[in-house]
Structure 1
Amino acid sequence: MIVVAGLDGATRAGYDSSRNWVSQLSLGPGGPLGVANLALCAVWLLAFGLALRHHLRLSRAGRWAARSVLVAGTAMLVVAAVPIDPGLDYPPGVPAVHTVTGYLHQAGALLLFVSGTAAAVLLGRCLSPRFPLAAPAGVAVAAVMVLAFVAASVLVTLDITGTVTGTPSGLLERVALGAGLCWIGGVGLLLSRAR
């Protein structure tokens, strides 16, 4: 998802990958590609969560890890289905607005972040009996996600209010998303090889 968003953003007039957020690619020309990218990632997360339910069903942490991934996939579906409000000068020439739909999108994004962070820690705990470094790796991924997402949220607020403009909040959002998605993908590879 991050690679597709990067390539898509690089071809969009007025889109700045370091400033603008991934879901803003669902706006303006080419918006359907941005929506499809988010929706396909959601489907991938849901499929992985369902597979985890069967693979990790014997442990309590495994059940919660699967649930966390399923919640993350559902939240990503919300992010894909409910459009973000225009802002941060994207799409070009469209004024920033704040709507109920935009707030619902933000709620979905927050749920995605919280459930993804929980999944990072829980998946590490599930793998630790076979892979001793998995638990600290899961905590490290979760820490990167928290730091990057909180910093992105602060910076985007400063940017929206005009206090500091042109902040790299989009880059930090990509760090949080990339860390979580790469960890989930890595866990999937480890589990498929372990079987």
Structure 2
Amino acid sequence: MQKTILQNAKLANSATQLTKMLLVCGVVAGPLFTVVGLIQAFTRPGFDITRHALSLLENGDLGWIEITAFLLSGLLFIAGAIGMRQVMRGSRGGTWGPILIGAVGAGLIGAGCFTADPGLGFPPGTPVSGMSWHGLLHLIISSLSFLALVAGCFVFARRFLAQRQPGWVTYTLVSGVIAFVAFAVLASGQLWMTSTFVFAMLNAYVWCSVMAAKLLTEQPHVSA
């Protein structure tokens, strides 16, 4: 009997450690994507953050850097979503919250596999052409992924509302609303909104990581 108890305790501890590792992946994902994107945005010749979306950084000789950022961040978000599911299981938002964060990760991977077309003069000297099949897929996948991120904000906001955590409700709702408004205005063709959209998007990705960090601090209590 004692041996069985010890074995069960070891298995539970292993599961707890695995969940922590998965959540750490989610914590890293948002800042990684943000830092890599901003460094390139302000160092790549010809890139203008007031006109160009970060996806355009997938083009050019250094495009592999942004592609790698998309793929790696996506994988990290998916790992984080699995960890979130372990912690949130059976609680408010425990199903759709992790699913939507996982969809964000899958969208980043898709956006990295199907690269954006060059445009608006970036990379410099690139001839203007019509939208390619992979550029169209990039646009569709990125849009769906970002909408999943916005939806995730509202799912978590309901969770925090039920937990009576008004500060977290406000932070989450503001992040989601700003992201949606910026996306909607830019999608309507208002290119002057590009820089606002970029920062709203990056803020939303960081919000995802903040959620993983918050659950990481709660994880030992939930597992007990």
TM-score interval for Structure 1 and Structure 2 normalised by the shorter chain: 0.7 to 0.9
Counterpart selection for 1:36 from 55, 59, 68: 68
TM-score in terms of structure 1 length: 0.87
Tell me which amino acid in the other structure corresponds to 1:75.
G
The alpha-carbon deviation at position 91 of structure 1 amounts to 1.2
Gaps of 5+ in 2: 1-32, 220-224
Q: Whole-Å Cα distance in 2 between the matches of residues 136 and 37 of structure 1?
A: 29
Alignment of 1:111-122 (within 5 A): 111-122=144-155
Counterpart selection for 2:205 from 177, 181, 195: 181
**1:190 corresponds to 2:219:** no
Tell me which amino acid in the other structure corresponds to 1:58.
G
Counterpart selection for 2:95 from 63, 87, 92: 63
Tell me which amino acid in the other structure corresponds to 1:73.
G
Query: How many residues matched?
Result: 185
Partner of 1:137: 171
Structure with higher helix content: 2
Identity %: 23
TM-score in terms of structure 2 length: 0.76
Tell me which amino acid in the other structure corresponds to 1:65.
G
- Give the superposed CA RMSD: 1.7
> Which one scores higher on RCO, CA 8 angstroms, separation ≥ 6?
2
Q: Whole-Å Cα distance in 2 between the matches of residues 67 and 106 of structure 1?
A: 21
Give the conservation status (yes or no) of the 8 Å contact 1:72–1:113: yes
Alignment of 1:80-91 (within 5 A): 80-91=112-123
Tell me which amino acid in the other structure corresponds to 1:122.
V
Give the conservation status (yes or no) of the 8 Å contact 2:85–2:98: yes
1:125 to 1:38, Cα distance in 2 relative to 1, 3 A: same
Q: Whole-Å Cα distance in 1 between the matches of residues 159 and 79 of structure 2?
A: 18
The alpha-carbon deviation at position 29 of structure 1 amounts to 1.7
The alpha-carbon deviation at position 158 of structure 1 amounts to 5.1
**1:153 corresponds to 2:177:** no
Q: Which runs of 4+ in 1 moved over 4 A?
A: none
What SS does structure 2 have at the residue aligned with 1:177? helix
Structure 1 residues 38-47 or 64-73, which shifts more? Answer: 38-47
Q: Whole-Å Cα distance in 2 between the matches of residues 46 and 121 of structure 1?
A: 19
Partner of 2:140: 107
Gaps of 5+ in 1: 160-166
Q: Whole-Å Cα distance in 2 between the matches of residues 186 and 19 of structure 1?
A: 28
Tell me which amino acid in the other structure corresponds to 1:33.
I
